[in-house]
Chain A
């Protein structure tokens, strides 16, 4: 068996330019730059800005956003800033009394209270001391969960809840980490893609790819983890392909949402799953995806 060997020159990596999708241009502010001169009482200082000598200055690199009097500068990339109601994928980092600490790529670990999970045996069950002792049996360090942001504490850390059958412990699948800013916010973050893969696009940049889930509501509490089930090779291959497609899109700084991922999957079919990891293939897939997305946009505007 001869194996295909790929050779790339060092200069090839610099030939690839980021893909520009829009002609729109904004004024870009960089740290220390004056956003508004002599901003006295007419403006309210928002995120990414600070006041010095009466001027409102930017503290991050990004574009200005104004809501009435509130002026803020939003960086294009940062740690995850949670908002109530967003869907997250996280990893349990610590088990404490009455709560779990969850790593969610935000600046402080998030908290999942024992009182904000659905324990097996009905929603209205009283939580006893035994439950506190049993916590590690439900979720232990290293377990992955999907959850929703319930509230934000005063220090900025997030309080999560899994009080829905959609949320809970994640079983077999793949986790990808991308920059949170690349995940497009939408109403639906749980997707069953047409080629037999289900996907959770966490707002925090953690993306979970798993075999198709049947939407039967008989799983209780979301603490069951079926590791015995054998996933067929086709599905595993599709999952691997989705992973590589998402990486290709993320590498080229393209927004991740169901349509872009489906398009990327379809465009990637001419490559084998392993070939998709080559930079050329990644750029090619991203370009074709972007082309299709832009055609979709044009169509919508007509």
Chain B
């Protein structure tokens, strides 16, 4: 048996040349579509995700309508060409359904649903290229799309993964390559400003002693991502505002 490949080299670099606490490059864009109320595109390393938000709008089925909140409908799908092996179908399998539900949970934690009785918000995310950290990229894209749609949220919800390299060192933002080699992956969706955790998931077991430091690393990652998204949102709003001449602002 060959020796298990090390996730961190002796000088502390990872397989793609990052250090343990470095995120992959994030590029994002808001308002990519004109048809939905809000849309966003995000790239985290090679993981590419599109998100579109429709609503709040009238609930289509009468039974589901809630008199005090709005319902949030999420759909996660992965393009058939997004992974190494061509997928049979883009959505509907167990993994997609699970990710849809997790996404819904993360969004329910931030959207001020009580403001929109009898309404519904649809969030569609599509993975164009999956290269590790699919769920975090989807959460971040959905957050941006919701902000673009002008839907009130308490704060950003960001997600990030972290892992444990060489059984000791916490590593941020795990890529697909590192996922495959092994090492437990901890996925965290959090509200970076208040430090609340809305979702936490582990792919494998590791010793409880390691959990606090890996979790801290992941939360740090969420904060960093929030700063990047915030910058992008501000730039987008500034561009939009200056091209409309701030016509809708009175003060």
Binding site for B on A (CB under 8 A): 18-22, 24-26, 28, 30-32, 48, 50, 52, 57, 59-66, 74-79, 103, 107-109, 155-156, 178-179, 181-182, 184, 250-255
Q: Which of B148, B152, B243, B249 contacts A63 (CB 8 A)?
A: B249
Asked, given contacts A61-B147, A77-B37, A77-B38, whether A32 binds B55 with beta carbons under 8 Å apart, the answer is no
Bound together, the chains give a CA A107 to CA B152 distance in angstroms of: 13
Extra inter-chain contacts (11) besides given A20-B243, A32-B154, CB under 8 Å:
A21-B243, A21-B245, A30-B147, A30-B233, A32-B191, A60-B152, A78-B151, A79-B149, A107-B119, A109-B58, A250-B34
Cβ of B204 under 8 Å from chain A: no
Which residues of A are found within 8 Å of B234, using beta-carbon distances?
Answer: 28, 30, 61
Q: A30-B147, A107-B57 are in contact. Are A59 and B112 (CB under 8 A)?
A: yes
Flag if B151 contacts A60 (CB, 8 Å): yes
| B interface residues (Cβ-Cβ under 8 A, vs A) | 31, 34, 37-38, 55-58, 112, 116-119, 147-156, 191, 193, 230, 233-234, 236-251
- The verdict on A32 contacting B251 (CB below 8 Å), with A63-B246, A251-B34, A252-B243 known, is no
Chain B residues closer than 8 Å to A60, beta-carbon distance: 147, 150-153
Across-interface contacts of A28 in B (CB, < 8 A): 234, 237-238, 241
Task: List 4 A-B pairs, minimum CB-CB distance, nearest first.
Answer: A32-B155, A78-B150, A75-B150, A59-B152
| Measured CA separation A6–B152 after assembly (Å) | 42
Inter-chain CB contacts under 8 Å: number:
138
A255 CA / B247 CA spacing, docked (Å): 8
**Which of A31, A59, A65, A182 has its CB near the most chain B CB atoms (within 10 A)?**
A31
Q: Is the interface of A mostly helix, strand, loop or mixed?
A: loop
A18-B243 contact given A26-B249, A65-B250, A77-B37, CB 8 Å threshold:
yes
Chain B residues whose C-beta falls within 8 Å of the C-beta of A48 in the assembled complex: 152
- Residues of chain A with a CB closer than 8 A to B155's CB: 31-32, 57
Residues of B within 8 A of A66 (CB): 251
B14: shortest Cβ distance to chain A, in Å?
30
Q: Contact: A254 with B152, CB < 8 Å? A: no
Chain B residues contacting A24 (CB-CB under 8 Å) are 242, 245-246
B249 (CB) vs chain A CBs: closest residue: A63
The answer to whether A26 touches B156 (Cβ under 8 A) is no
Q: Which residue of A lies closest to B29 (CB)?
A: A14
Q: Which residues of A contact B251 (CB under 8 A)?
A: 63-66
